[in-house]
Structure 1
Amino acid sequence: MVIINGEFVELETPSGPMRTHIVRPAAPGRYPAILFYSEIFQITAPIRRTAAMLAGHGYIVAMPEVYHEYEPAGSILAYDQAGSDRGNFLKTHKPVAAYDADTRAMIDHLVARPDCTGKIGAMGICMGGHLAFRAAFNPEIAGTVCFYATDIHTGTLGEGKHDDSFARAAEIKGELFMAWGRQDPHVSTEGRMKLLARLNELNTLLNWHEVNGAHAFLRDEGVRYDPEHAHAMMSLTYDFFHRKLGQGDLPV
């Protein structure tokens, strides 16, 4: 399926305009949509490639520039120490309410699009996994995929390093798919088990996957990339979204 790249929409949020990158199948028709949240580095080449693969399976994929309040539109942070430092600073500088407002703006945009079926899911990687987890608090989100989501068990996302994601997990009504690397230093075994116990306590609709991989095993750039685990988990991701969101390429 051919993919159209390079479409942007500027969404209004309470903290200013947010550039949102859209990729979708070229064939005319209506498609389900996925909110796709990046790592702390914003819309890098690996993020774009992953989004293109998702779109190629029949989805409108919307990627927000999560630091739109602080970086010029189109900014990408490098996969180096300076980029990591900047991304981690902004991660705990931006208010949690602003992250949530960004998500609301994207949901409202997607459900209003004439090329969208109205079925919406969410997916995120690293910090984006945490943002996808929070997106699942919205009733429109039918299914959510989180790859090695950081800071949920510690409650340290956002301004003041204080969030309520762990407590608000009870608001998730859709289904979760959570994938982890067992050798990830950012999310310890104790942290994963704390979150798993919470989700089990709530009887959350849950798919829980752990692989022997490092943090960023999905990113097809850098020494931590594990193609075998990435392929296996993405195959399960496609199946999950197809089941939760339905088939695209429907007549307008």
Structure 2
Amino acid sequence: MLIQSHTVDLATPSGPMRTYVHRPQGDGRYPVILFYSEIFQQTGPIERSARLMAGHGYVVLVPEVFHELNPAGTVLAYDEAGRDKGNADKAAKPVASYDADNIALITWAQAQPWCSGQFGAMGFCLGGHLAFRAALQPQVSATACFYATDLHTQVIPSSAGQHSMARLADITGELLMIWGKQDPHIPAEGRAQVYASLAQAGLRFTWHEFNGQHAFMRDEGERYDPELAQLGYQLALALFRRKLG
């Protein structure tokens, strides 16, 4: 499916949020995927992933996750300076601010002629956590989280009762949780903690642990595993087709 891309700046309580829109060409109404990046924002690998998903018949919205902390269009490099800046931004943004971002994305999309009214979410690393956060919104019926960081920690700032794992009762859709067993950012005990919490809450979720490192979906760098990445996309697409159409 041929796709088109453009940007839009959406109003949020913390300022304009640059959002990249990737969607099928021509007329038609399509399900929407809220697509969350790593701490580096829309890098080349993130754009390629978003465009891949759009090519399967989805409108993919990629917000700049730290829009209130950087000029619009900021992309951080996959190097030490980029990691330091991205991690500092992660520590500076209150987790509840992502809820306002999600509401802005959903409200804007619902008013567009290409929106079918069906919503999903997907993300990698920090974006895996933010996709999980998007699942708190009642409109989101399917969510694919790839090696979601900090679900088992308190690293992402939050006020009492606002951490994502404290709000599992707000999740009404289905989750796809994908992890790398060799990922030091989410060790086995952290994954076990998340699994137990989801199971205890009675959520609908599928759980996959692969022999992969952190960022095995990213098609840059030596940790990229093309075979696992293809399998990951297939699992996500199967979920979205089943739940969103």
Q: TM-score range by the shorter chain?
A: over 0.9
Give the CA deviation at 1:103.
1.0
CA contact (8 A) 2:96 2:158 kept: no
- Specify the alignment match of 1:4 in structure 2: 4
CA contact (8 A) 1:24 1:56 kept: yes
Cα distance per residue 1:133-160 (max 9 Å; x no partner): 1110110001000000000111321368
Q: Secondary structure at the match of 1:133?
A: helix
Q: Secondary structure at the match of 1:13?
A: coil
Cα distance per residue 1:185-240 (max 9 Å; x no partner): 00010000001001111111001011000000000000100001111111111111
- Specify the alignment match of 2:128 in structure 1: 129
Give the CA deviation at 1:88.
0.4
- Specify the alignment match of 1:74 in structure 2: 73
- In structure 2, give the amino acid aligned to 1:233: G
CA contact (8 A) 1:156 1:163 kept: no
- Specify the alignment match of 1:176 in structure 2: 175
Judging changes above 3 Å, is the alpha-carbon distance between structure 1 residues 152 and 163 closer, same or farther for their aligned structure 2 residues? farther
Matches within 5 A, 1:136-215: 136-158=135-157, 164-215=163-214
**Aligned partners of 2:167, 2:63: CA distance in 1, in Å?**
23
Judging changes above 3 Å, is the alpha-carbon distance between structure 1 residues 163 and 89 closer, same or farther for their aligned structure 2 residues? farther
With normalisation by structure 1, the TM-score equals: 0.95
**Aligned partners of 1:124, 1:155: CA distance in 2, in Å?**
19
Matches within 5 A, 1:42-57: 42-57=41-56
Q: Secondary structure at the match of 2:10?
A: strand
**Aligned partners of 2:157, 2:76: CA distance in 1, in Å?**
18
- Specify the alignment match of 2:232 in structure 1: 233
**Aligned partners of 2:157, 2:140: CA distance in 1, in Å?**
22
**Aligned partners of 2:204, 2:163: CA distance in 1, in Å?**
20
- Specify the alignment match of 2:221 in structure 1: 222
Give the CA deviation at 1:163.
5.1
**Aligned partners of 1:96, 1:236: CA distance in 2, in Å?**
27
**Aligned partners of 2:81, 2:162: CA distance in 1, in Å?**
25
- Specify the alignment match of 1:32 in structure 2: 31
**Aligned partners of 1:99, 1:107: CA distance in 2, in Å?**
12
Q: Secondary structure at the match of 2:83?
A: helix
- Specify the alignment match of 1:58 in structure 2: 57
**Aligned partners of 1:153, 1:27: CA distance in 2, in Å?**
42
The RMSD of aligned alpha carbons is: 1.4
CA contact (8 A) 1:123 1:145 kept: yes
Q: Secondary structure at the match of 1:128?
A: helix
Q: Secondary structure at the match of 2:16?
A: strand
Runs of 5+ in structure 1 lacking a partner?
A: 247-252
**Aligned partners of 2:167, 2:55: CA distance in 1, in Å?**
33
Query: Deviation above 4 Å: which 4+ runs of structure 1?
Result: none
**Aligned partners of 1:157, 1:117: CA distance in 2, in Å?**
33
**Aligned partners of 1:139, 1:159: CA distance in 2, in Å?**
21
Runs of 5+ in structure 2 lacking a partner?
A: none
CA contact (8 A) 1:155 1:163 kept: no
**Aligned partners of 2:16, 2:151: CA distance in 1, in Å?**
27
